[in-house]
A and B are shown apart, each in its own frame.
Chain A
Amino acid sequence: MSLTLNERTRFMLALIAPAVLALAFFQVVPILVGANTSFRDWSLHDPQRTWVGLANYAHVLADREFLRVVLPNTFGFMTASVACSLVLGLSVALMLNRRFAGRVIVQSFVLLPLMVAPVIAAIMIRWMFNDQFGVVNAALGGLGIGPISWLTQRWTAFLVILMTDVWLWTPWFALILLAGLQSLPPEPFEAAQIDAASRWRTFRYITLPMLRPVIVVCVVIRSIDAFRTFDIVWTISGGGPARATEVFSIYAYVESFQFLNLGRGSAAAVIGAVTIVIFAMALYRILNRYVEVSR
Chain B
Amino acid sequence: MLKDKGAALFRRSCAGAAGLVLAGGLFSASAQDRELKVGYMKNPIQDASLEMMQKWAKTQGVKLTPVPMAYSVFMEKVTSTLTSGADQFDVIWHNDDWGQLWKKWLDTTDDVKGIENADQWPLLAFWNDDKKLTVVPMAHTVGTFFYRSDIVKPEEVPKTFADLVTVSQRLQKEGKAKWGYVGGMTMNNTWFSLWWTMWSNNCDILKPLFERDNEKLKAGGFEPAVTEPCHREIVEYWWDAINTHKISPPGMTAYGRNEANAIFMAGDAAFTLVDSTHFGEFNDPKRSKIAGKIGMAPFPMGPRAQKPTSWNEIWGWAIPKGVPAERKKLAKEMLSAVMSDEAGQVEMWKKTGGPPPNVKLWPKLAAGDKDFAALKHAVFDQTPITHSAYYFAEWPAVHRAYSDMAIEALSGKREDIPKVLAAHVDKIRRAATGN
Residues on A lying within 8 angstroms of B by beta carbon are 43-47, 130-133, 147, 149-153, 157, 237-238, 240-243, 254, 257-260
- The reply to whether B393 and A43 form a contact with Cβ atoms under 8 Å apart is yes
Residues on B lying within 8 angstroms of A by beta carbon are 73, 76, 79-80, 83, 98, 101-102, 104, 186-187, 249-251, 253-254, 259, 262-263, 266, 268, 393-394, 396-397, 400, 403-405, 407-408, 411
Q: Sample 19 A-B pairs with CB under 8 A, ordered by A number.
A: A44-B83, A45-B101, A45-B102, A45-B393, A46-B83, A46-B104, A130-B251, A132-B262, A132-B263, A133-B266, A147-B250, A149-B249, A149-B251, A150-B251, A240-B407, A241-B254, A242-B404, A242-B411, A260-B393
- The reply to whether A47 and B83 form a contact with Cβ atoms under 8 Å apart is yes
Asked whether A241 and B104 contact (CB < 8 A) given A45-B393, A132-B263, A133-B262, the answer is no
- The reply to whether B251 and A151 form a contact with Cβ atoms under 8 Å apart is yes
Contact of B253 among A44, A241, A259 (CB under 8 A): A241
Contact of A242 among B98, B268, B407 (CB under 8 A): B407
Chain A residues with Cβ under 8 A from B101's Cβ?
Answer: 45-46, 260
CB distance from B272 to the nearest CB of A (A): 13
A47's closest neighbor in chain B, by CB? B83
Cα of A174 to Cα of B253 in the assembled complex, Å: 37
Chain A residues with Cβ under 8 A from B83's Cβ?
Answer: 44-47
Grouping DSSP codes into helix (H, G, I), strand (E, B) and loop, the A interface class, with mixed when no group exceeds half, is loop
- The reply to whether B400 and A151 form a contact with Cβ atoms under 8 Å apart is no
- The reply to whether B407 and A241 form a contact with Cβ atoms under 8 Å apart is yes
Contact of A149 among B80, B250, B400 (CB under 8 A): B250
Task: Kindly list 14 other residue pairs between chains A and B, CB separation below 8 angstroms, not including A149-B254, A259-B400.
Answer: A44-B80, A45-B98, A131-B249, A131-B250, A150-B251, A152-B250, A152-B253, A157-B254, A238-B186, A240-B186, A240-B187, A240-B404, A241-B254, A260-B393
A133's closest neighbor in chain B, by CB? B262
Cα of A147 to Cα of B83 in the assembled complex, Å: 49
Asked whether A259 and B396 contact (CB < 8 A) given A44-B76, A242-B407, the answer is yes
Cα of A242 to Cα of B402 in the assembled complex, Å: 10
Cα of A289 to Cα of B403 in the assembled complex, Å: 47
- The reply to whether A259 and B397 form a contact with Cβ atoms under 8 Å apart is yes
Cα of A105 to Cα of B18 in the assembled complex, Å: 64
Chain A residues with Cβ under 8 A from B404's Cβ?
Answer: 240, 242-243
Chain B residues with Cβ under 8 A from A254's Cβ?
Answer: 400
A237's closest neighbor in chain B, by CB? B254
Cα of A6 to Cα of B262 in the assembled complex, Å: 69
Cα of A44 to Cα of B80 in the assembled complex, Å: 6
Cα of A242 to Cα of B393 in the assembled complex, Å: 22
- The reply to whether B407 and A131 form a contact with Cβ atoms under 8 Å apart is no
- The reply to whether A46 and B251 form a contact with Cβ atoms under 8 Å apart is no
Cα of A150 to Cα of B255 in the assembled complex, Å: 11
- The reply to whether A258 and B400 form a contact with Cβ atoms under 8 Å apart is yes
CB distance from A48 to the nearest CB of B (A): 11
Chain A residues with Cβ under 8 A from B187's Cβ?
Answer: 238, 240
Chain B residues with Cβ under 8 A from A150's Cβ?
Answer: 251
